[in-house]
Structure 1
Amino acid sequence: MSNARSTAWDIYSQSKPQRRKTNARGEVTWFNWTQYPDHGPGVDVLNLHPGEGALDLGCGSGGNTAHLATLGVRSVGIDLSAKQLAKARERWPDVDDMELHQADALTYLKDTSTIFDAVYSVFGASWFTDPGQLLPPVRARLKPGGVFAFSQRPAVEGCYGCQASYIPRGPDEDPAIVKRWDYDPGVWERTLKEHGFVDVSASVLAPPSGSRRTGTLFVRCVQGG
């Protein structure tokens, strides 16, 4: 595990408040793919059923992980930030079938023997890991026909490949730097197909009506083995 990266995400966690107690529907757990509340597709895109298993690559404070567990899914979340995981354990102490680990995505995927029915990442490790290194172990840990899906901010036009994200550390310190990987939807589709995934779709979801802010890149595919 990279101490520099885990420290960066601990710093990031300080800027993120706990998830709202309820969403617009009054639900205490829910799944959210985008950076906007109550927006975007639902959990159904993972095609999960009670008793099946799902892996959250970069679970943060655990909202999506907890929601799947309440649906009867064996829900595993990993994150580099101990502080984010502490938020998750504080918020969801009594949720059964939820398992949390402080771990790097590549290390966890290579060390675990578990085969999952779905693997997903919401602004998480799929954005901050070289896809050439991430996609083979993701595919190896998915059952045939299992879903891999992820969301992140779309690439800035002309700025593709490995980019730098800057996490503020305070007025007297330089920002922490982490790498991210940005591509347009067409490149994601080709890359996933080259790594053996099928039924690949990638698009930029529009932001909520009336918003002038950026949309959300959403990618879904299936393990073709």
Structure 2
Amino acid sequence: MSDTRSAAWDEYSKSKPQRRPTNARGDTTWFNWTQYADHGPGAEVLNLKAGDSVLDLGCGSGGNAAHLATPGMKAVGIDLSPKQLAKARERWPDVDGMELHRGDAVAFLRETSTIFDAVYSVFGAAWFTDPGLLLPVVHANLKPGGVLAFSQRPPVEGCYGCQASYIPRGPDEDPAIVKRWDYAPEIWCSLLKEYGFWEVTATVLAACEHDRRTTGTLLVRAVRGDQPRLF
């Protein structure tokens, strides 16, 4: 486990408040793919039902996992940041079926024996992990026909592949730096197909029309094929 990355995400957690008690509709749990509140599709993207198992790669403070566990799914979350996981346990102490682990997403997938019905990442580990390492182990731990879906900011035009993200720290400290992987939608589609995924879509969801920000959200969805990729 990288202490440097853990410290960076602990620092990031300081800037993120706890999820609201309810959303705009009055729901106490909800699923959100985008950086805009009460905007975009929900958990239906994952095509899950009660009793299914689902893995959140970079679960943060646990809001999406709690939403899936509430109707009876087994929601497993993995995150590098102990502070983020502490926030999840504080915010959702009574949610049955939610299991949280501290660790690296690739290492967790290599070690677990669980085959998941769906795997997802919301501005999480799928953005901050080399897809050449992550996609094979997701494929190996996803049932045939299971869904992989992830969201992140769209890439800046011309800035593709491994990029640097800067997380502010104190006024007298340099920012923490973590790597992220940015690709155009068509490149994500090609990569996922190369690693054995079918029915791949990559769409940029427009920003909320009532928000002053204009950056949309890249949402990628794929289905695990019957045959693993041969290495």
State the TM bucket, normalised to the shorter chain.
over 0.9
Residues 56-135 of structure 1 aligned to structure 2 (within 5 Å)? 56-135=56-135
1:222 aligns with 2:223: yes
SS of residue matched to 1:50: coil
Letter in 2 for 1:91: R
Letter in 2 for 1:178: V
Q: Which residue of 2 aligns with 1:175?
A: 175
Measured in 2, the distance between the counterparts of 1:218 and 1:199 equals 14
Shift of 1:97: 0.3
Q: Which residue of 2 aligns with 1:9?
A: 9
SS of residue matched to 1:15: coil
Shift of 1:200: 0.2
Shift of 1:203: 1.1
Q: Which residue of 1 aligns with 2:229?
A: none
Q: Which residue of 1 aligns with 2:157?
A: 157
Shift of 1:27: 0.3
Measured in 2, the distance between the counterparts of 1:203 and 1:178 equals 25
Indicate the percent of aligned positions where both proteins have the same amino acid. Answer: 74
Please give the per-residue CA displacement for 1:147-179, whole angstroms capped at 9, x wherever unaligned: 000000000000000000000111111110000
Measured in 2, the distance between the counterparts of 1:67 and 1:224 equals 27
Q: Which residue of 1 aligns with 2:24?
A: 24
Please give the per-residue CA displacement for 1:78-103, whole angstroms capped at 9, x wherever unaligned: 10000000000001001000000001
TM-score, normalization by structure 2: 0.96
Shift of 1:60: 0.3
Please give the per-residue CA displacement for 1:183-219, whole angstroms capped at 9, x wherever unaligned: 0100000110011100000011000114442000000
Please give the per-residue CA displacement for 1:107-141, whole angstroms capped at 9, x wherever unaligned: 00000000000000000000000001100000000
Which structure 1 residue ranges, 4+ long, deviate > 4 Å from structure 2? Answer: none
Shift of 1:49: 0.6
Shift of 1:8: 0.3
Letter in 1 for 2:224: Q
TM-score, normalization by structure 1: 0.99
Please give the per-residue CA displacement for 1:34-69, whole angstroms capped at 9, x wherever unaligned: 000001111011010111100000000000000000
1:141 aligns with 2:147: no
SS of residue matched to 2:128: coil
SS of residue matched to 2:36: coil
Letter in 2 for 1:194: E
RMSD of aligned residue pairs (Cα, Å): 0.6
Measured in 2, the distance between the counterparts of 1:196 and 1:30 equals 30
Letter in 1 for 2:100: L
Letter in 2 for 1:108: F
